[in-house]
Amino acid sequence: MKCGKPLEVEEQEYCFDCSKNVFQYTKGYALWVYDRNVKKSIAEFKFHNRREYCEYYVEELIRFYESKILALAPQVLIPVPLHRSKLQERGFNQAALLALGLGRTLGIPVVENYLLRHQKTKAQKRLNDKERVINLTDAFAVNPKYQNVNYSNVMLVDDIYTTGSTIDACAKVLLQKSTKEVYFISLAIGKGY
Ligand SMILES: [Zn+2]
């Protein structure tokens, strides 16, 4: 198991996306399957500014994954960034709020702007596999401010993991520096198929 997606067939080792792709990240965890209720909750959080939901999300993430995260011993938590214009529009980065909550509870530093999102990427779900990869290539970069700051063991934080292409695009950028292990923690994950 790499991404932690629930699998239809128990004996299956990897989900469809993990067996199809060679992911750069090492492994990761997700709390919930991205079903109707979870989708609704996260949409309220993101688009209707229900930031108070974050507290509950963090509590649940901690309840299930505290020991697993601590076992991986990431030096730092880094949220998947939003493009500047989206951040302005929304007023907050949901992944950063999750990361800050987790970091505070677990005593792990959070570097909110370590990664930058360059292009305004199109919504991934509207694209096919090939377009997704092209869409994300070069979308992320290390913030020049942190050019000389290196972490060997990083945990990325995001709200929704779908195919893994976003997390992996971030992982690639980190691995191009001196990072050796990239993990992720996500609030929700799409179903394996
Ligand atoms: Zn997988």
- Residue range 125-162, pLDDT digits in tens: 677 777 776 667 779 999 999 999 999 999 999 999 98
Give the pLDDT mean for 91-118.
97
**Residue 85 CA, ligand 1 centroid: distance in Å:** 31
Q: Give the pLDDT confidence score for residue 120 in this predicted structure.
A: 59
Q: What is the per-residue pLDDT for 122? A: 66
Secondary structure (3-state) at 166: helix
| Rg from Cα positions in the chain | 16
The per-residue pLDDT for range 157-189, each reduced to its tens digit, is 999 998 899 999 999 999 999 999 999 999 999
Q: Distance from the CA of 61 to the center of ligand 1, in angstroms?
A: 19
Distance 25 CA to ligand 1 centre (A): 11
∠ CA(134), CA(99), CA(38), 5° rounding? Answer: 75
Residue 10 has pLDDT above 70, yes or no: no
Distance 136 CA to ligand 1 centre (A): 19
Query: What percentage of the chain carries pLDDT values higher than 70?
Result: 91
32-50 CB burial, b ≥16 within 10 A, e <16: bebeeebeebbeebbeeee
Assign residue 93 a region: left if phi > 0, alpha if psi is -120 to 50, beta otherwise?
A: beta
Looking at the DSSP assignment, which residues form a beta bridge with residue 140?
117
Angstrom distance (rounded) from CA 41 to CA 50: 9
pLDDT at 6 over 70: yes
| Amino acid sitting at position 183 | Y
CA 149 – ligand 1 centroid, Å: 30
Question: What are the residues whose beta carbon lies below 5 Å from ligand 1 (ion)?
Answer: 3, 5, 15, 18
Per mean pLDDT, which range of 13-27, 49-63, 83-97, 164-178 is the poorest?
13-27
Has residue 193 got a pLDDT over 70?
no
